[in-house]
A and B are shown apart, each in its own frame.
Chain A
């Protein structure tokens, strides 16, 4: 088992905290800057913003968890609410019985997970606020497999792993760094408020990365890939929103 894999195992224990030094030692100094730094004053501000908030998050605190009484009566759907992709529509019509998630790239044993296999992994349930960068927020109860568990079930990541890239059925993609990957609340959610994830909220699987804005919480996840660099993937900024011109780091 590689060093990083060992760290992933350790850090996903309940209540486990990783020190900044440990993250630095495991090649996670990426925590302080986006994979691609934009030019000019905006790029400088990006780095200041990311390094400052990540410094505040050194001890990896959890995002606030709420009670059932706080859950929004009708959790909004936003953006893509039903991908027209043929393969996706086929899976939808079959209730995702034949759907599977591809986990590849820099993992020891690349593999596929059916929805049942993901549900058999240890799950985490969290009642959190979805914070949209547009301005709205809503509280929901998410249940899913911690991302670190999923990677562990694929043999763990290799030492040069730096980012995890998520592909969605509607052609969207996003990536997060290892600082976010090892966080206990970073889960691949298949349930919202106790029910299977509705189509409008990203069925059958969406990313919950609770300390970043909604646009990083990619819906309709169909494949995840561990990489050492996001260069060469589409326009190379590490996500479709950052390809458009948003800050890659969605922490503010």
Chain B
């Protein structure tokens, strides 16, 4: 039941809860792992991100080609055609509903944006970003990263199940997601809007044109899917029930190996 102070830098005496575990004999130790803000923002993000992905796929399927520059239309030289991958234009069109897609994409873009701004403002203010999310200088040495990557590749690694602070790779990927990926997705998204492009023509110059922005936005979608897949696999590897419960209730049962 002794918990090293390296678990959760913000851990004060109130952060530990000792309770009887009805399943296992004896007593378990619980740790308050995720704040209200992180938990609420996380699940709103799951809903908004899910809708953004689904509606984005619908929009794409209605015009399943990608181009580079300002110009791109059926018959213009494309850099990606879904028909090259065995799904014809007509088949894709039947699967995609761009009206539904547009309505929900722009609705959940607002949900995602407002939620993200609340998350960022709150966690920059409280120091969560600085204390728990931002990688420390010593964590970024190549030797340390190499070790962590090797550890990461072992599916049943015990360190995963007991970890109550973010690993370096986790920190790096979350910081890149929040402060690089999301802003780029936002900007490549709005660069496609004729009204915003009129107000901020530098967006077109930044990405090289509306079609380039659309292509980068689509590549970003693939990266987002990869992120979600790895994230979910990591949760499964690190003890799905305990991890998901912690993200819902905030309380993490410290596994016995760590006690």
Interface residues of A (CB under 8 A from B): 41-42, 44-46, 48-49, 53-54, 56-57, 61-64, 66, 70, 72, 74, 76, 129, 131-139, 210-213, 244-247, 250-252
Q: Is B103 an interface residue (CB 8 A)?
A: yes
B75 touches A74 (CB 8 A): yes
Interface centre among A57, A136, A210 (most CB of B within 10 A): A136
Docked Cα-Cα span, A211 to B201, in Å, equals 12
Docked Cα-Cα span, A135 to B96, in Å, equals 13
Residues in A with CB closer than 8 Å to B71 are 70, 72, 129, 137-139
Stretch from B58-66, B118-126, B151-159 that touches the partner: B58-66
Docked Cα-Cα span, A129 to B190, in Å, equals 16
Residues in A with CB closer than 8 Å to B76 are 72, 138
What is the chain B residue whose CB lies nearest that of A63? B198
Q: Given contacts A49-B106, A252-B193, are A134 and B198 in contact (CB under 8 A)?
A: no
B195 touches A76 (CB 8 A): no
Docked Cα-Cα span, A98 to B190, in Å, equals 43
Closest approach, in angstroms, between the C-beta of B156 and any C-beta of chain A?
A: 42
A64 touches B198 (CB 8 A): yes
**What interface size band does chain B fall in?**
35 or more
Docked Cα-Cα span, A61 to B109, in Å, equals 25
Dominant secondary structure at the A interface? loop
Interface residues of B (CB under 8 A from A): 59-60, 62-63, 70-76, 98-99, 102-104, 106-107, 109-111, 190, 192-201, 204, 210-211, 214
Residues in A with CB closer than 8 Å to B111 are 41, 45
A136 touches B72 (CB 8 A): yes
Q: Given contacts A53-B195, A70-B70, are A247 and B214 in contact (CB under 8 A)?
A: no
Residues in B with CB closer than 8 Å to A57 are 195, 198-199
Docked Cα-Cα span, A76 to B63, in Å, equals 14
Contact of A63 among B98, B197, B211 (CB under 8 A): B197
Q: Given contacts A56-B200, A246-B99, are A131 and B194 in contact (CB under 8 A)?
A: yes
Interface centre among A129, A137, A252 (most CB of B within 10 A): A137
Docked Cα-Cα span, A191 to B210, in Å, equals 24
A45 touches B73 (CB 8 A): no
Docked Cα-Cα span, A57 to B201, in Å, equals 12
Contact of A135 among B60, B194, B197, B198 (CB under 8 A): B60
What is the chain A residue whose CB lies nearest that of B72? A136
Contact of A136 among B74, B103, B106, B196 (CB under 8 A): B74
Closest approach, in angstroms, between the C-beta of A123 and any C-beta of chain B?
A: 21
